[in-house]
């Protein structure tokens, strides 16, 4: 940068020479320099002012556009929750394996009274008593004229009843909305579903809580709004359940039994397709719990799950399967059956005398207690106990019912050699029919442990192996022999190759010892025996078959025909194809001429 001097020497000297004041030159130069500087800053300021102007212009335009956008948009109602958070307040449905409704909700009304605003108390009480015959007119009137300000009259009323109450026209009779639990199938699957009742109650709503069965077991799940109303799907098949219940009910009546239970289980998954306990109840109007007498006789009692019985000879196949698995015997090994078998002061007898020896197969087919006891001795107490434990027979079933955990098998206090011998034919160890169904499934499905479940399974659950494939096949073959030529000959259902084992156990007296004329008759079956799909356990409590000259109580005469009828009914429903020999055309000659 070149500096321009304010007092250029040449001009100063020239000015002095002319006698002018040289300071004027300096002032003029300062002025000129200032002018230049001012022009420069002015230009810069002009530019910057333009920038500011543009900034304000843009800012105001942006505000205007934004105002326009806001004004053009729809005002939204202030909402606390986002619209997507849809809350399902009602209890989820329960459906069967095919999605058919087992339990759902129904909107109904509760009826209550506010005596202070009632006009005609006597008339209202009288008319209410005619609408609801179980209400007492005098008690109602006493309540209305008492000091109470608020009285619940009915928890649930039908639309017709509601209209009738409307017609009374009293302003003190009021209705509160209610969601009630409805079981459209009535008694079907009553023990599985259990029931529900109202928890905390208000005028405008009431909490529905499960009180038994899966309703209680899955109470949290069913009430969880996070599940978004997704129904709970059970493994039950409603059609099969209906058929099973109908046949079992008929069989129970025919065989004069006081109770009955049936469990139909998928051998591979442990899914309970059908489970019936009789007598039963309607979960819509759940009866009260018995306060006196044997709780086991209450209709609320689930015999299939809660009832632990000595189930008798049905255990023999478990014993045999273990012996086969351990290689102690093969199906044709001859077993000593000479009786009676004495053990201390205890004698083991057979129903008939089967001679000195029977093959392993025939011990089961003819149901020899003595033979089974000898085999059990070969196995020994510890190995037997471990095996039964592996089958899940020594602990409560893990099935998804609140009642299940309370139904623990009754074990002998000391697992002596005698216990080992009696348990081999099903005495001395009490289990529920459901236990037995799971144990049979485990042994007969190829040898993989299954656990009973009430929830629909989408894939087979591979449990640990309890017996080999070969043992499983041999056990099925033996069970098939029982039906073909043994104690369960009434169990034959043409085309379905039923195999099974009968069990007739004397009922223990509460005072000790056993009744002579009261039995629990059980038939544990598998079908089809060559390609196992289902296990069916049918248990009758105190059956008597009276068509013969003397009463017959053995399972072969009572449970087996009932079970066979059930299989005949449900196997087609389950989609099983009967294997029938093709008919030989007789009397028809094909000719070609």
* Residues designated as active site: 313
Q: Name residue, tokens 């002032």.
A: 27
- Tell me the two tokens of residue 336: 């000593």
Q: Is the peptide bond before 528 cis (omega within 30 degrees of 0)?
A: yes
Q: Is 139 in the site for another protein (CB under 8 A)?
A: no
Q: How far is the CB of 85 from another protein (least distance, A)?
A: 13
Q: Is 50 in the site for another protein (CB under 8 A)?
A: yes
Of 264, 304, 280, whose CA–CA distance to 434 is shortest? 304
The DSSP bridge partners found for residue 508 are 514
Question: If DSSP states are collapsed to H, E and C, what string results for 499-557?
Answer: EEEEEEEEEECCCCCEEEEEEEEEEEEEECCCCCCEEEEEEEECCCECCCCCCECCCCC
The DSSP bridge partners found for residue 177 are 109
Stretch that binds another protein, among 55-63, 83-91, 251-259, 276-284 (CB under 8 A): 55-63
| List 9, 10, 19, 73, residue binding another protein (CB under 8 A) | 73
- Residue 400 · residue 453 · CB < 8 Å: yes
Q: How far is the CB of 4 from another protein (least distance, A)?
A: 14
Contact characters 465-494, another protein, x per CB under 8 A: ------------------------------
Q: How far is the CB of 47 from another protein (least distance, A)?
A: 9
- Considering the complex, state which of residue 41 and residue 98 has its C-beta at the smaller distance from another protein: 41
Q: Is the peptide bond before 279 cis (omega within 30 degrees of 0)?
A: yes
The DSSP bridge partners found for residue 234 are 455
Of 525, 514, 508, whose CA–CA distance to 563 is shortest? 525
Q: What share of the chain is helix, strand, coil (3-state, %, to 5)?
A: 40, 20, 40
Considering only residues 298 to 317 of the shown chain, the ones binding another protein according to CB under 8 A are none
| Planar angle of CA 523, 408, 437, nearest 5 degrees | 30
Phi-psi region of 59 (alpha: psi -120 to 50; beta: other; left: phi over 0): alpha
The DSSP bridge partners found for residue 448 are 465
- Considering the complex, state which of residue 78 and residue 548 has its C-beta at the smaller distance from another protein: 78
- Residue 301 · residue 295 · CB < 8 Å: yes
Stretch that binds another protein, among 64-72, 346-354, 362-370, 553-561 (CB under 8 A): 64-72
Q: Is 10 in the site for another protein (CB under 8 A)?
A: no
Q: How far is the CB of 51 from another protein (least distance, A)?
A: 8
Q: Is 34 in the site for another protein (CB under 8 A)?
A: yes
Q: Output the CA torsion sign for 16, 21, 23, 25.
A: negative
Q: How far is the CB of 59 from another protein (least distance, A)?
A: 5
Q: How far is Cα 304 from Cα 170, in angstroms, rounded to an integer?
A: 50
- Considering the complex, state which of residue 39 and residue 517 has its C-beta at the smaller distance from another protein: 39
- Residue 27 · residue 34 · CB < 8 Å: no
- Considering the complex, state which of residue 25 and residue 402 has its C-beta at the smaller distance from another protein: 25
Stretch that binds another protein, among 40-48, 150-158, 528-536, 543-551 (CB under 8 A): 40-48
What CA–CA distances, in Å, run from 587 to 190, 580, 592?
A: 54, 21, 16
Q: How far is the CB of 106 from another protein (least distance, A)?
A: 37
Alpha helices for 73-153 (secondary structure H): 121-131, 137-145
Q: Is 57 in the site for another protein (CB under 8 A)?
A: yes
| List 24, 49, 295, 356, residue binding another protein (CB under 8 A) | 49
Q: How far is the CB of 58 from another protein (least distance, A)?
A: 10
Q: How far is the CB of 275 from another protein (least distance, A)?
A: 52
- Considering the complex, state which of residue 77 and residue 160 has its C-beta at the smaller distance from another protein: 77
CA atoms within 13 A on the CB side of 324: 28
Q: Is 56 in the site for another protein (CB under 8 A)?
A: yes
Q: How far is Cα 221 from Cα 303, in angstroms, rounded to an integer?
A: 26
Q: How far is the CB of 455 from another protein (least distance, A)?
A: 41
- Residue 221 · residue 233 · CB < 8 Å: no
- Considering the complex, state which of residue 48 and residue 86 has its C-beta at the smaller distance from another protein: 48
Q: How far is the CB of 50 from another protein (least distance, A)?
A: 6
- Considering the complex, state which of residue 34 and residue 86 has its C-beta at the smaller distance from another protein: 34
- Considering the complex, state which of residue 13 and residue 65 has its C-beta at the smaller distance from another protein: 65
Q: Is 293 in the site for another protein (CB under 8 A)?
A: no
Q: Is 7 in the site for another protein (CB under 8 A)?
A: no
- Considering the complex, state which of residue 76 and residue 586 has its C-beta at the smaller distance from another protein: 76
Q: Is 37 in the site for another protein (CB under 8 A)?
A: yes
DSSP code for 50:
H
Cα 349 → chain centroid: 43
Of 491, 538, 500, whose CA–CA distance to 260 is shortest? 538
Q: Is 38 in the site for another protein (CB under 8 A)?
A: yes
Q: Is 33 in the site for another protein (CB under 8 A)?
A: yes
Considering only residues 74 to 93 of the shown chain, the ones binding another protein according to CB under 8 A are 74-76, 78
- Considering the complex, state which of residue 28 and residue 50 has its C-beta at the smaller distance from another protein: 50
Q: Is 9 in the site for another protein (CB under 8 A)?
A: no
Q: How far is the CB of 22 from another protein (least distance, A)?
A: 19
| List 1, 71, 85, 459, residue binding another protein (CB under 8 A) | 71
| List 21, 45, 530, 546, residue binding another protein (CB under 8 A) | 45
Neighbour tally for 23: CB within 10 Å: 11
Neighbour tally for 171: CB within 10 Å: 9
Q: Is 42 in the site for another protein (CB under 8 A)?
A: yes
Cβ density class 55-80: b for 16+ within 10 Å, e for less: eeeeeeeeeeeeeeeeeeeeeeeeee
- Considering the complex, state which of residue 82 and residue 583 has its C-beta at the smaller distance from another protein: 82
Q: Is 4 in the site for another protein (CB under 8 A)?
A: no
- Residue 93 · residue 104 · CB < 8 Å: yes
Size of the site for another protein (CB under 8 A): 34
| List 8, 21, 41, 138, residue binding another protein (CB under 8 A) | 41
Stretch that binds another protein, among 28-36, 112-120, 506-514, 545-553 (CB under 8 A): 28-36
Q: How far is Cα 500 from Cα 477, in angstroms, rounded to an integer?
A: 10
The residues that touch another protein, with contacts defined as CB under 8 A, are 30, 33-34, 37-38, 41-42, 44-46, 48-50, 52-53, 56-57, 59-64, 66-68, 70-76, 78
């Amino acid at each position: 940068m070149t500096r321009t001097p304010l007092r250029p020497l040449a001009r100063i000297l020239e000015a002095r020479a002319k006698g002018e004041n040289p300071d004027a030159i300096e002032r003029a130069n300062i002025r000129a320099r200032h002018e230049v500087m001012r022009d420069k800053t002015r230009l810069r300021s002009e530019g910057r002012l333009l920038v500011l102007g543009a900034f304000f212009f843009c800012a105001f335009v942006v505000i205007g556009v934004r105002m326009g956008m806001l004004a053009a948009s729809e005002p939204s109602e202030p909402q606390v929750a986002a619209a997507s958070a849809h809350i399902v307040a009602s209890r989820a449905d329960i459906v069967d394996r095919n999605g058919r409704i087992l339990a759902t909700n129904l909107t109904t009304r509760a009826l209550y009274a506010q005596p202070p605003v009632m006009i005609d108390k006597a008339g209202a009480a009288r008319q209410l008593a005619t609408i609801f015959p179980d209400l007492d007119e005098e008690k109602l009137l006493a309540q209305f004229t008492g000091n109470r300000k608020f009285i619940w009259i009915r928890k649930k009323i039908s639309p017709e009843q509601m209209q009738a109450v409307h017609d009374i026209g009293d302003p003190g009779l009021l209705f509160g909305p209610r969601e009630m639990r409805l079981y459209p199938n009535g008694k079907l699957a009553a023990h599985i579903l259990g029931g529900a009742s109202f928890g905390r109650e208000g005028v405008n709503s009431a909490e529905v809580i499960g009180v038994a069965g899966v309703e209680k077991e899955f109470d949290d799940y069913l009430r969880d709004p996070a599940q978004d109303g997704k129904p709970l799907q059970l493994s039950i098949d409603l059609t099969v359940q209906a058929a099973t219940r109908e046949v079992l009910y008929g069989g129970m009546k025919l065989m004069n039994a006081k109770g009955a239970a049936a469990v139909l289980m998928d051998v591979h998954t442990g899914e309970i397709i059908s489970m019936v306990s009789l007598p039963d109840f309607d979960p819509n109007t759940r009866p009260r719990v018995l306060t006196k007498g044997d709780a086991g006789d209450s209709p609320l009692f689930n015999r299939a799950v809660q009832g632990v019985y000595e189930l008798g000879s049905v255990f023999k196949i478990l014993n045999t399967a273990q012996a086969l698995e351990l290689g102690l015997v093969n199906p044709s090994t001859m077993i000593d059956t000479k009786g009676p078998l004495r053990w201390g002061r205890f004698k083991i007898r057979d129903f008939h005398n089967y001679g000195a020896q029977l093959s392993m197969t025939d011990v089961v087919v003819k149901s020899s207690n003595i033979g089974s006891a000898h085999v059990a001795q070969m196995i020994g107490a510890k190995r037997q106990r471990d095996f039964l434990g592996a089958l899940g027979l020594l602990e409560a079933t893990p099935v998804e019912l609140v009642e299940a955990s309370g139904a623990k098998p009754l074990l002998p206090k000391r697992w002596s050699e005698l216990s080992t011998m009696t348990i081999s034919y099903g005495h001395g160890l009490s289990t529920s029919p459901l236990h037995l169904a799971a144990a049979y499934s485990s042994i007969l499905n190829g040898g993989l442990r299954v656990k009973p479940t009430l929830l629909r399974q989408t894939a087979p659950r591979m449990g640990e192996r309890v017996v080999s494939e070969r043992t499983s096949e041999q056990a099925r073959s033996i069970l098939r022999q029982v039906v073909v030529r043994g104690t369960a000959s009434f169990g034959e259902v043409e085309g379905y190759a039923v195999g099974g084992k009968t069990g007739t156990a004397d009922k223990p007296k509460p005072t000790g010892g056993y009744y002579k004329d009261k039995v629990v008759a059980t038939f544990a079956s598998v079908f089809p025996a060559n390609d196992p799909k289902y296990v069916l356990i049918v248990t009758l409590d105190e059956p008597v078959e009276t068509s013969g000259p003397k009463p017959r109580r053995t399972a072969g005469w009572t449970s087996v025909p009932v079970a066979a009828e059930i299989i005949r009914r449900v196997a087609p429903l389950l989609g099983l194809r009967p294997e029938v020999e093709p008919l030989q055309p007789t009397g028809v000659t094909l000719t070609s001429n």
